[in-house]
Amino acid sequence: MGSQFEPMAAPREPRTSSMTAAARWIGLILGLSLALVALVQARVPAGTGEVPAFASLKAEPSVKLGVSPVGRELLDERTLGPGRSVSGVVEVSNLTGAPVTAEPRLRVLRGEAPDALRLELSAGRKTFYSGTLGDFHAAVRLGARAAERVRVRISFPRDAADEIQGHSFDLSLRFATGRAGSSR
């Protein structure tokens, strides 16, 4: 008949392998949770969607006019955002003994200055020019040995954001002179 011996079942291993597997799963879930929390905390906040322009304005010397400051930055700030403006002041003195007309000219030294920028030139309470850079033409009358503090304001109109955003430009301000009453 058959043998009296039946196969014996293999001895059971201790439950350590299932405990190790459970610990691995718990560790994985805990690690992923911590990584997700860290990712949410380190998230960069949403931006405004507006890219500023960067402007620089420096004055050039003149033979018949005293211009101060020369060669130094005139603008109080260089960052120009939509709907914002920057300004600076330059003093212009007539060094001659006769009245002259000083005509400010802007020259682009670096970059591309968008024509849509708004400019305003004023001295005291009088505004000599208010318009776009593309149409810029102004004149300041100076008496003999007289001086004026000319404020230059550059504005970034909101409706021209597509034309101006991201531009960086350096401008130079110089003054051409003519006899008072004559125009160039």
For residue 184, being part of any structural domain is answered with: no
Mean of pLDDT values over 108-123: 89
CA–CA–CA angle 88, 93, 97 (5° rounding):
165
Quick one: which of 148, 153, 159, 149 has its CA closest to 171?
153
For residue 8, being part of any structural domain is answered with: no
Q: The tokens of 50 are what?
A: 């507006």
The rounded percent of the chain whose pLDDT value lies above 90 is: 36
Q: What is the mean pLDDT of the chain?
A: 84
For residue 119, being part of any structural domain is answered with: yes
> For the domain that residue 130 is a member of, what is the CATH number?
2.60.120
How many domains does the structure of the chain reveal? 2
- Terminal alpha carbon distance of the chain: 132
Range of the domain at 175: 53-179
Distance CA 114, CA 32 (A): 50
Q: The tokens of 149 are what?
A: 């503090």
Contacts of residue 92, Cβ cutoff 8 Å, sequence gap at least 6: 65, 66, 67, 102, 140, 142, 147, 148, 150, 175
Distance CA 24, CA 148 (A): 79
**Same structural domain, 105 and 175:** yes
The label of the residue with tokens 């190790």 reads 20
Mean pLDDT is lowest, of 12-21, 29-38, 61-70, 107-116, for 12-21
The number of residues in the chain equals 184
For residue 109, being part of any structural domain is answered with: yes
Tell me: pLDDT of 47 over 80: no
- Give the model's pLDDT for residue 184: 46
Phi and psi at residue 35, in whole multiples of 5°? -65, -40
Distance CA 59, CA 74 (A): 7
Quick one: which of 97, 173, 90, 107 has its CA closest to 142?
97
Tell me: pLDDT of 162 over 90: no
Which of the two residues, 74 and 1, has the higher pLDDT score? Answer: 74
**Same structural domain, 128 and 162:** yes
Distance CA 139, CA 102 (A): 6
Q: For 118-155, how does the pLDDT look when each residue is reduced to its tens digit (9 = 90+)?
A: 999 999 889 989 998 888 888 889 999 999 999 999 99
Q: For 97-108, how does the pLDDT look when each residue is reduced to its tens digit (9 = 90+)?
A: 899 999 999 999
